[in-house]
Amino acid sequence: MAIKEHLRRTLTLFILLAPALSPGVVSAGPGPVQAQSQTSRTANIVRRSSRYEQAGLPEIQSYISSAWDTLTRSMTSCQSITDPKASTPPVIYLPADFAAPAELEPVTRECHAQIARLPQVIHRLGEIDSKGLDPHALLYLPRPYVVPGGMFNEMYGWDSYFIIRGLVESGRIDLARGMVENFFFEIAHYGALLNANRGYMLTRSQPPFLTSMIMAVYDAEKAKGRDDRDWLATAYPYAVEDHDLWVHDPHLAGATGLSRYFDFGRGPVAEEDLAYYRRAAAYFILHPGEAAGFLSTTGPGEHPPEAIGPRFSLNLCSKNADSENAGSENAGAPGAGNCDRLEDAGLTADFYKGDRSVRESGFDITFRYGPYAAGTHHYADVGLNCLLYKVETDLERMSALLSKSAEAGQWRESASERRDAINKYFWNAQKGEFFDYDFTGSERSSYEYATTFYPLWVGLASPEQAEAVDRNFAHFDRPGGLLTSLKETGGQWDAPYGWAPLQLIAAEGLRRYGFTQDANRLSAEFLTTVLLNFRRDGTIREKYNVVTRSSETHVQAGYTQNVVGFGWTNGVFLALLHNLPPEWTRRIPLQ
């Protein structure tokens, strides 16, 4: 490495990372189903209260109302079963022990889709080797569901909670309930609540929002006079099984009593192209101090001890070639005459484990777990463990409603133990924030991140902790909403971007502890950002630049699109608006 550093400083070094393997196919494009009639719901929206009309909101509310149908998918729709990220013919996988539904028969004929069975019965996540499957095949679900939009044409794990919040606000409780029941089907037949219902996602879950979804539907139905304890009793064992995934190896964070994200697969993910991994390798080559454990190098012609993923070549090329080539458009380009091959490089198994695991977290890509999130599986994560605390308190409530008093006590004790561990490992009293914990290095992170608001949202923070976090609210607050982090890394889950889920969690967390003015200001800022951009181009987006209050993004690590739709932004918009007092709603600008 010392020789390379010397060469880099004394010569003009052209790094060519040449692929040794062919890339996966990645493409993007929307795939909406035809919207159903919206006449009655649109009419109701237009008749909203005068405060909404004053703020100019009926048009965006009408868009969201129509979008629920535009974004709804089912297994009987040709547009639903295609994967916009691939060009292969559609395939639907059925569970190995599940009878083929009659409704799929026309799909094979009209959509030219193949119906196949998974090769084995799946009892838990990680039991099946997804490498032998068609990666882009859709996993069968029995009920309609809402997708995020664009290239995301599947039912996603944590997206669905925020979508369900919006469906409940829109009175679409039956659709929300069906989505929750789809997750019960996934747990029963695919081993877990999945990242999404695609073949290549059978190796990972997503942040545990299932009990939050269950209780959102249960409470919405109860508010309308339907206290469905039978449905709650059906939901309870699935919720217990979902929790069980996170409290056993390999999802345990060492001996901390906390949990981590962990994908059971190996090597590159199917949804990324080769260029992404080439850029990651280039980063570690140029930052050797951060490459330990994540980059593997060998001399030309040597074989790596463990070949996993593509290999790239590092070449030293002359900037000014000999007189024969000087001045030509190929001067300095790789070639036998002006380049020497120094070594080959590839990413390690540990890198790929982190790369996969960050996709289970949903925060792909952030640098909070190290460059390109390569160390994700080395961290006990603040957000994950706060969600598990909420799962345990939700299960306590469910147990009590179902007259399972002994189990309610056990869940209460589990939540108490987790709260103590969260305070021990995550809380930094000097800074007044919660930070992730690297359990492999026994070190608390210093990477300031919006997940510091999760303890407020789930109610585990003490009043003193909540007050300290609120004092730091200004660090994250920008004209367009809440920053995801304070560092610009090129990753979409870092500054300057803001995401709908984190806006809702922070606003509701602040409101829960009485910091109403900050909650209202944050809500109004993000609502204004979404509304201004909607007026500009008639769309709602996946994420926003909250510094410039625009939907323009320049992502360098991960996919670069700012996808239109967009399921969770629609849901969060309605939820934030519902809780915003009239005097704040009127502050949302008319233009």
Question: 450: exposed, middle or buried (C-beta count within 10 Å: 0-12, 13-18, 19+)?
Answer: buried
Q: For 144, phi and psi rounded to 5 degrees? A: -60, 155
DSSP 149: B
For β-strands 497-499 and 295-298, DSSP reports them as unpaired
3-state per-residue secondary structure call for 316-384 = EECCCCCCCCCCCCCCCCCCCCCEEEEEEEEECHHHHHHHHHHHHHCCCCCCECEHHHCCHHHEECHHH
Retrieve residue 127's tokens.
């039991």
Q: Is the Cβ–Cβ distance between 346 and 296 less than 8 Å?
A: yes
Q: What is the largest CA-CA distance in the chain?
A: 87
Supply the Cα-derived Rg of the chain in whole angstroms: 25
The whole-angstrom separation of Cα 522 and Cα 509 is 11
Q: For 198, phi and psi rounded to 5 degrees? A: -120, 155
CB atoms near residue 88 (< 10 Å): 12
CA nearest to 198, candidates 88, 92, 112: 92
Q: Is the Cβ–Cβ distance between 386 and 423 less than 8 Å?
A: no
Which residue carries 């147990």 as its tokens? 399
CA nearest to 554, candidates 567, 541, 544, 564: 544
User: Which residue type is seen at 532?
Assistant: L
Retrieve residue 313's tokens.
């070549």
DSSP characters over 226-258:
---HHHHHHHHHHHHHHHHHHTSTTSB-TTSS-
The whole-angstrom separation of Cα 38 and Cα 563 is 24
CA distances from 232 to 24, 93, 235, 246 (A): 42, 29, 5, 22
Which one of the listed residues 134, 392, 494, 542 is annotated catalytic? 542
Helix (H) or strand (E) holding 311: strand 311-317
Q: Is the Cβ–Cβ distance between 575 and 169 less than 8 Å?
A: yes
Which one of the listed residues 69, 344, 355, 364 is annotated catalytic? 364
DSSP characters over 85-131:
T--SPPEEEEPTTSPPPGGGHHHHHHS-PEEEE-SS---STTSS-GG
Active site residue 542: yes
Residues forming the active site: 364, 542
